[in-house]
Structure 1
Amino acid sequence: MIDDPLLHRAQALHLHGLVAHWAEVAGQPWVEALIGWEAQERQRRSLERRLQAAHIGSFKPVCDFDWSWPKRCDRAALEALMTLDFLKEAANVILIGPNGVGKSLWAQNLAHQALLLGATVLFTTAGQLLGELAALDSDSALRRRLRHYAAPDLLVIDEVGYLSYGNRHADLLFELVSRRYQAHSTLITTNRPFAEWGEVFPNAACVVSLIDRLIHNAEVIAIEGESYRLKEAKERSEQRAKRRRKKTEDNL
């Protein structure tokens, strides 16, 4: 085989026509550019497909996160997550805090960063995930869907704790977490400390085991404070009130 890096790149891209005529085109100045364009376009299309499949939705970038707002927040730990070292270790991430403190913002940014670095990602809410799994009425369909959720390098389950679930939901979540355990990373956002998960899954026998699997080799980060969304809503309301007062004054 010819020891030509460009030829190896063409073969890796499955450019069979180009490879078949390599002896004729090798050394032509346009060959390297052509291979580069093809590689870039495939990377772009791959990212586009994975973004669509990930279902991250629209989100604010972490540069918009107001570090002065939370009452308590480990900034160094949160910023370290953006290196995605936890993915290399198949470690989990648990973000704990009340509604509106930025847990979902960080989860979405981490999911997006993982996609940019080539990882497979799936973003869902606990309600959507558990509702879908519990509604499946055949074992074969359930197994297929569990494989779907168990496969990504990073699975994000948002909003655990906002609703309460039955024993079947708890068992399904435990099954999914067990399938991903020490193989792929799971990121969970929750408004409940683990001591209150018995209220999220009342009477479920697997809650202790579920928490144990999640937190083993996990980064657990708490964000404390009042809702930033509520703060923004109040500010918008005050701005609208000021505009109305000014308009009234101008009309006098």
Structure 2
Amino acid sequence: MTNPEVLKSRARALHLFGLLAHWPPAGTADWVEPLLQWEEDERSRRSLERRLREAHIGRFKALCDFDWLWPKRCDRAAVEDLMSLDFLQEAANIVLLGPNGVGKSTLAKNIAHQALVCGHTVLFTTAGQLLGDLAALDSDSALRRRLRHYAAPDLLAIDEVGYLSYSNRHADLLFELVSRRYEGKSTLVTTNRPFAEWSAVFPNAACVVSLVDRLVHNAEVISIEGDSYRLKEAKERSEQRAKQRRKANS
């Protein structure tokens, strides 16, 4: 049987004050340890469910089903090493760089989900959603609250940077957010544009160089090269339907 003092510490951590008030007679009962374990397991399950809802990761293909042979270039060992989540302990950033459809979002969602399962707080969003949300706020107090919301998670994943162009205000807001998280929390970014082209994403924004500098400092940049996997799947579906039609008409 587990040491009663250890059980008492677990009950205190769970704030089971009614049980603690009757600890002398109850602390050595056979049912106490299973009760504590049930409560811990249930709270852990509910915590994971809540964090999953709040993370907004959505549906994604598991890493075990990822087609590593399709990209012409993708450092599988580096991606799998990220799943250890060591980068979170170092407050390091991650940048997944590559053209459309090579699996950047899928990899980002797998990393984000792994962080959630391991007890970290996570928020997954697209650049358009994030910057649109921040730019729509018309008061300084509301903006500060929203920036704190995005700055708070252990891991903030910003998907699809580079797919749209943004104003100087959007650039300033992203710079402010990255600065708040700088060297304190990890930020994961997926982008289809090399950093030399970010001036086209944020035209005429004075902070672009500083934004990139803070984002890539103490960051791991993983480049992925290849053709669109979505186009490959669409072509395969089209060929399969054509085959079925020929078979039905033969």
TM interval, short-chain normalised: over 0.9
What does residue 6 of structure 2 align with? Answer: 5
The answer to which of 238-247 and 160-169 deviates more is 238-247
> C-alpha separation between the residues in 1 aligned to 2:131 and 2:84?
30
> C-alpha separation between the residues in 2 aligned to 1:37 and 1:126?
40
Counterpart of 1:131 in structure 2: which amino acid? G
Residues 51 and 122 in structure 2, CA contact (< 8 A), matched pair in contact too: yes
What does residue 133 of structure 2 align with? Answer: 132
What does residue 59 of structure 2 align with? Answer: 58
Superposition RMSD in Å: 0.9
Q: What is the CA distance between 1:67 and its match in structure 2? A: 1.0
What does residue 186 of structure 1 align with? Answer: 187
Q: TM-score, normalised by structure 2?
A: 0.98
Q: Secondary structure at the match of 2:59?
A: coil
How do 1:171-210 residues align onto structure 2 when only pairs under 5 Å count? Answer: 171-210=172-211
Q: TM-score, normalised by structure 1?
A: 0.97
How do 1:151-230 residues align onto structure 2 when only pairs under 5 Å count? Answer: 151-230=152-231
What does residue 48 of structure 1 align with? Answer: 49
Residues 74 and 225 in structure 2, CA contact (< 8 A), matched pair in contact too: yes
What does residue 14 of structure 1 align with? Answer: 15
Deviant stretches of 4+, over 2 Å? none
Q: What is the CA distance between 1:26 and its match in structure 2? A: 2.0
Which structure 1 residue ranges, 5 or more long, are not aligned? Answer: none
The answer to whether the aligner puts 1:68 opposite 2:69 as a matched pair is yes
* Offset from partner CA, 1:165-188 (integer Å, 9 cap, x none): 010000000000000000000000
Counterpart of 1:246 in structure 2: which amino acid? K
Residues 4 and 28 in structure 2, CA contact (< 8 A), matched pair in contact too: no
The answer to whether the aligner puts 1:36 opposite 2:62 as a matched pair is no
> C-alpha separation between the residues in 2 aligned to 1:26 and 1:167?
62
Q: Secondary structure at the match of 1:70?
A: coil
Counterpart of 1:116 in structure 2: which amino acid? V
How do 1:68-87 residues align onto structure 2 when only pairs under 5 Å count? Answer: 68-87=69-88
> C-alpha separation between the residues in 1 aligned to 2:110 and 2:67?
15
Residues 162 and 198 in structure 2, CA contact (< 8 A), matched pair in contact too: yes
Counterpart of 2:168 in structure 1: which amino acid? N
Q: What is the CA distance between 1:3 and its match in structure 2? A: 6.5
Q: What is the CA distance between 1:75 and its match in structure 2? A: 1.3
What does residue 27 of structure 1 align with? Answer: 28
Q: Percent identity at matched positions?
A: 76
Residues 122 and 155 in structure 2, CA contact (< 8 A), matched pair in contact too: yes
* Offset from partner CA, 1:109-154 (integer Å, 9 cap, x none): 1110000111000000000000111111110100000000000000
Which structure 2 residue ranges, 5 or more long, are not aligned? Answer: none
> C-alpha separation between the residues in 1 aligned to 2:207 and 2:28?
64
What does residue 242 of structure 1 align with? Answer: 243
